[in-house]
Amino acid sequence: MNYYERIRELTKSVPVELVDFEQPRDPARTPTQASSNFITNKEQGDWAENLVTRAINETSNNFIAVKYGKSDDLVAGEDGFDTFYQDFQTELDTIGKRPDLLIFKKVDFDSSLGFDISQIPHNQITNYVKKAVAGIEVRSSAFLIDRYEEAMQVRTEKFTQIALQIKDQILSEFLDVLQHPARQSYIDLLNGITSKTLNITDFRTPSWSSSERLIQVKELFKQLKIAIKEIQKRDYLSITPKVEDIKVVYKWIETFNVPHFYFQVFFDKVYGISFEQILTIISDSDNDGVIFSVETDTKNQNKTTIKINSKSGIPIASRVDEPLHESVRKEMDRGRLLFYVTFKGGTAYLNIENLKTILGIKTGDDSQNDF
């Protein structure tokens, strides 16, 4: 069974409520106007892609990273963008979504095509693309993952203490109020709350207001509810494949039979995960709410996004030197001005063994020269 056949079998296990591979993808509407935030995010994504490309090409003895993903400097609202966007949609339905980068063995690298084949029509490079050992979709996140995890641990510990203190206060000071038959269920609720059950505890805040003590205990339940909501927020940074992209990535794999991966670039580390593992994770409903969540991403045009715990992947770079950044002024039609941030430089220090593991590059006798 080749790579594509393994992926095809996995798609049969993905819940149709999440991704229905039997249905055509939903048509996309052409964006009409870009924002400063959108362009900054695009610049950050371009920087992340360049960071990974440079890290591979400056480190590897035997492999080369080539820019492949369909992209353009045009943004919504500029002349020519509509044509570019519609051509992009047509290509999605024809060959699927190009990953940002292709990794070739040096012996298969075509120097006449160079390090950027993103503008070459797909029908002119089909056989060349099939020689790639991997396609990499590079996603970026404006976080320091280590700092984030430290902050989330502190947050969880803080609100766990608050919740348990409120629980004890209610039971010690207002037990008589709750012993009324209509309110007895709240005693059972509180007795079931522990540090291990807070992440699944839910209840309706009472609306009592007929006495001073009922009002007081109601306010405590409100505070308890707030603390529990903080504890139950997602506490991990994620690798973020969009639901709408799952189908077109599968289409690309069907076309070229090349292994596909997601690399998530943070400003201090890079994590990678295979598309095969993504399908495996989302096929198991027991992972929902534990390893991954499905959310509407307000930072990405409210598109439904699968957010997989980054630690489910493999650390590709254990350290990243942050880039330089500067503000840029862009004049749009009718004199509208956009100001956004660009990123330059930075270095990702690759974990070669982990990179070889995720890409399936076997170690030979001289491990220093395998990659």
Q: What is the pLDDT of residues 249-262, one digit of tens each?
A: 999 999 999 999 99
Count of CA atoms in the C-beta half-sphere (13 A) of 148: 17
Say how far residue 13 (Cα) sits from the centre of its chain. 21
Q: Hey, where are the domains in the chain?
A: 3-143+237-369, 146-232
The residue-averaged pLDDT of 59-70 equals: 94
User: Residues 14-27: pLDDT tens digits?
Assistant: 999 999 998 888 87
Angstrom distance (rounded) from CA 170 to CA 199: 20
What DSSP designation does 236 have?
S
Radius of gyration over every alpha carbon of the chain, rounded to an integer in angstroms: 25
Find residue 293's DSSP bridge partners.
307
Say how far residue 65 (Cα) sits from the centre of its chain. 22
Supply the pLDDT for residue 74.
67
The residue-averaged pLDDT of 324-340 equals: 83
Supply the pLDDT for residue 365.
47
User: Residues 146-175: pLDDT tens digits?
Assistant: 999 999 999 999 999 999 999 999 999 999
230 — pLDDT class (breaks 50, 70, 90): very high
367 — pLDDT class (breaks 50, 70, 90): very low
The residue-averaged pLDDT of 322-346 equals: 86
What DSSP designation does 131 have?
T
Task: Tell me the pTM.
Answer: 0.85
Q: Classify each residue of 324-334 as buried b or exposed e, where b means 16 or more C-beta atoms within 10 Å of its C-beta.
A: eeeeeeeeeee
